[in-house]
Amino acid sequence: MSGHGVYLVEGEWAWNLTAGDSNVGTDLSALIEGRVDLQDAVAQKNNVDAEPLSSVVPGLPVERPGKIMCLGLNYVDHIKEGGYDVPTYPALFMRCTTSMIPAGAPMIRPSISEQLDYEAELMVIIGKGGKHISEKDALSHVFGYTIFNDGSVREYQRKTHQWTPGKNFDGTGPIGPVVVTPDELPEGADGLKIESRVGSEILQSATTSDMLWSVARTIATVSEFTTFQPGDMLAMGTPPGVGHAKTPQRWLRPGETVEVEIEGIGICANPIVAEEDIVATEAAE
């Protein structure tokens, strides 16, 4: 979690490690790249006061990631509900940094389309770079795991065989609020319950063990064509239950708050705000 610093989170309390050592920085980059030792940073907990977790405003875990790689089809039932054949190679696309927002920030329903959809996903933060990474070594390249909501504007995703427009509207990709290191989770973050909801309405509910491509297999496959760098992100696809496949279709609406929860990691919650309301507010200021 980062806002005005990197925080260590335990239960309902948080410690600003950056306040103990400014070299830690305002995001996780220094820790991921090894410029600051993770254990040395954690030791700063003893030098700062605990703060209520509720008072900490989340920031992006990595402010300027080099690559945000995403799997489009990685749960069989989601593939079927979208009308696709089960692929023999992962459906990959990329997101840009302007589409990404931290947990808690407004998720923007664009003025040009009401078809804002949700996608609960596990997000991998790469710690050690490399190319042609073997599947058996792949998990050693993981710094940690967090939560991602791959907000998709379906009308624009369907305009072309390339999904880029629908996956890259400004302010549609919430991530965070915490990054959990691999030692705190099952190997490869396997077998974790993953769920999205609005209030008491459960939209998606599945387990990461349903993924076609595991974290290790995905890292190995993607590294065949691109060199991973520390701080890169890898989104692992969404389970069934997305809004465009429901009858009637279920789009996110301004005034709602969408939550994505992954067992052992936490909850990424974001209010839905209409783009025109944001523009009007900014014009009035």
Same domain? For 123 and 262 the reply is yes
In this predicted structure, what is the pLDDT of residue 170? 98
- pLDDT score, position 3: 52
Number of domains in the chain: 2
Q: Answer yes or no: do 127 and 259 share one domain.
A: yes
For the chain, which ranges sit under pLDDT 50? 2
One domain for residues 20 and 82: no
CA distance 269 to 21: 29
Percent of the chain clearing pLDDT 70 (strictly above): 99
Strands of the chain (E only): list them.
Answer: 7-10, 13-16, 50-52, 68-71, 92-94, 100-102, 107-109, 116-117, 120-126, 142-149, 152-153, 173-175, 193-198, 201-207, 233-235, 257-262, 266-274
Q: Are 108 and 199 in a shared domain?
A: yes
Residue 1 lies in a domain: no
Token pair belonging to 126: 């790469």
Omega before 248 cis (within 30°)?
Answer: yes
3-class secondary structure, 78: helix
Distances (CA, A) of 186 to 181, 190, 208, 265: 11, 6, 11, 11
Does some domain include residue 2? Answer: no
Q: Are residues 28 and 73 in the same domain?
A: no
**Domain co-membership, 33 together with 74:** no
CB 52, CB 14: distance < 8 Å: yes
Q: What is the CATH number of the domain that holds 133?
A: 3.90.850.10
The single-letter DSSP state of residue 114 is: S
In a domain, 222, yes or no: yes
Judge if the upstream peptide bond of residue 177 is cis by omega within 30 degrees of 0. Answer: yes
What is the pLDDT, as a whole number, of residue 99? 98
Phi, psi of 221 (to 5 degrees): -70, -45
With respect to residue 204, please indicate whether it lies within any of the assigned structural domains. Answer: yes
Cβ(167)–Cβ(117) under 8 Å? no
The reply to whether 41 falls in a domain is: yes
180/249 same-domain check? yes
Q: Provide the domain limits for residue 139.
A: 68-284
The whole-number pLDDT of residue 1 equals: 54
Same domain, residue pair 99 and 39: no
Tell me which residue of 284, 280, 278 sits closest to 101, measured CA to CA: 278
Please tell me the predicted confidence (pLDDT) of residue 279. 83
Q: How many CB atoms sit inside 10 A of residue 37's CB?
A: 11
Asked if 51 and 76 sit in the same domain, the reply is: no
Same domain, 144 and 223: yes
Residues 269 and 150 in one domain: yes
d(CA 267, CA 216): 24
Q: Kindly state whether residue 62 falls inside one of the protein's structural domains.
A: no
Same domain, 123 and 211: yes
